[in-house]
Chains A and B, each alone.
Chain A
Amino acid sequence: MKKILLFAIAFSLLITLYSCKNPPNALDDSGLAEDTAAQQNAEEMGQGSENTQAGEDPSPNKNEEIELQTDFDEDSDESTPQPGDIVEIVDSMRVNMSVDDMYEKSDIVVVGEFDGVSYTVVPDDTKDENTVGTLFTDQVVSCERVIKGDAQGDIRVRRIGGKTDDRNLSSNDPELQEGKQYLLFLTAGPSVVEGDTENYKIVGGLGIFPIDSDGNLDVSSQDEQDAQRLLEIYSQQ
């Protein structure tokens, strides 16, 4: 019996240790070597040089990488990512906001369903200097109930991110799931192309609350006070 217990304890400890994936202070020799090499490289490059770039690979394996890429290209499928492809990500920090703040800052508060229609919007560089070079995706939401403000029919909920022929940008802005209902706190989005109206973005990146198939609002991410306030807002007609 003792043997079985010992085995169980050892097994449990192994799982726990494995999940921790190397304790942070266990710097191995290779880590130190990399560190020293990086420092030497940085000194050689001269900190602050105009050519400073994290992406330039000084390793002798560069030719090997190019050869590999050529091999892939022979049978290439354009939609399949190839070595050397570059993608982008925009990650934004959120500021904590109470439900009352969210409501206050919203131009409209709606209950709506995302029917899966979305498309990339490439801003016109002359429209808004804050959006130059960004890509957006508009997600079409059909409004079922308007709690605050004025909205009818379909509205577009805009998030940072999108794909064009030569760019692939993702972000941590909330992404709606097809066929799901949401309570949305929205503020008017920036006008980035000619005739760009009726687009909205989610307040603070936080004003999105899923509704399950029985019509129950998911308030599990909120504290008691905010959960209560959300339910009050949701029940407004």
Chain B
Amino acid sequence: MKIKKILLCVCFLLVFSIALSLIAMSYNILLFNGTENRGIKNRYIVFQSWSGFTQETRWAIDYASRQWNNRTGMTILYHSATQHNSNYDNEARDYKNLIVKVSKGLDNAPMTTHAWAELGSDGYYYIIEADIVVNADYPWNNTGSSTCLDVQNCMTHEFGHMLGLENVDYPVDATMYKSTHNGDLEKRWLKQDDLNGFNYIYR
């Protein structure tokens, strides 16, 4: 009887551990050509905002990048003081990391990250450039209004892609959760799952 009880206890603990492990590992890493990336190659990335953004939007972008820097304790995202004038996205590598605002139509996504990665000699990909495209056809603001998408909310999510993270199906409150809605502010603040993903790549 005693042995049976012990065995049951052990089984319960193992199942409990495995369940916990699965929850803890729900983050996803961007796959380039089917292979995991190991983050930004130089461990920092300087990005420029479009000069047509309002001051409030530039602040929102700044807060989004600082959320990653502050919560992870690693300053990786640098918001350049210089702004660029390109209000188009040519989807080409130009050796700059730009945040652009382009009219892409409501058929396309509200925000998109286009990243380039180079295969290292260790067999992993390293991100060497990334642009973020804001689709001008969606209603945007910086206040969390229930009729608009929030810039800071979505930008925090896109910076996660810039850093090498992929969307997740769970948890639904994570910054890297796959979808958003008008008035959504949940992604402004990184959750444990986002930090676990970041740590997997950078530590």
Contact = CB atoms under 8 A, between A and B. Distances in A.
B48 interface: yes
A34 B202 CA distance: 10
A165 interface: no
Query: Chain B CB within 10 Å — which of A48, A58, A90, A94 has the most?
Result: A48
A195 interface: no
Chain B interface, >50% SS class:
mixed
Given A12-B14, A24-B71, A55-B118, A201 B107 contact: yes
Contacts of B58: none
B115 A89 contact: yes
Interface string B167-200: 1000000000011110000000000100110111
A8 B24 CA distance: 20
Interface in B42-90: 42-46, 48, 71-76, 78, 80-83, 88, 90
Given A88-B116, A95-B179, A19 B42 contact: no
B48 A48 contact: yes
Contact of B16 (A12, A53, A170): A12
Interface stretch (A77-85, A210-218, A228-236): A77-85
A68 B2 contact: no
A150 to B, nearest CB: 19
Interface stretch (A110-118, A129-137, A140-148): A129-137
Interface in A154-208: 168, 170, 172, 187, 201, 205-206
B118 A48 contact: no
B33 to A, nearest CB: 5
A65 interface: yes
A55 B30 contact: no
B61 to A, nearest CB: 14
Contacts, number: 228
Given A15-B17, A89-B30, A45 B199 contact: no
A237 interface: no
A206 B71 CA distance: 31
Contacts of A27: 73-74
A12 B18 CA distance: 8
Given A35-B75, A39-B75, A48 B80 contact: yes
A15 B46 contact: no
A222 interface: no
A12 to B, nearest CB: 4
A188 B75 CA distance: 43
A168 B161 contact: no
Interface in A7-50: 8-9, 11-13, 15-16, 18-25, 27-28, 31, 34-35, 37-39, 41-42, 45, 47-50
A99 B22 CA distance: 30
A201 B198 CA distance: 32
Contacts of B107: 187, 201
5 contacts: A55-B41, A86-B119, A93-B180, A95-B149, A206-B179
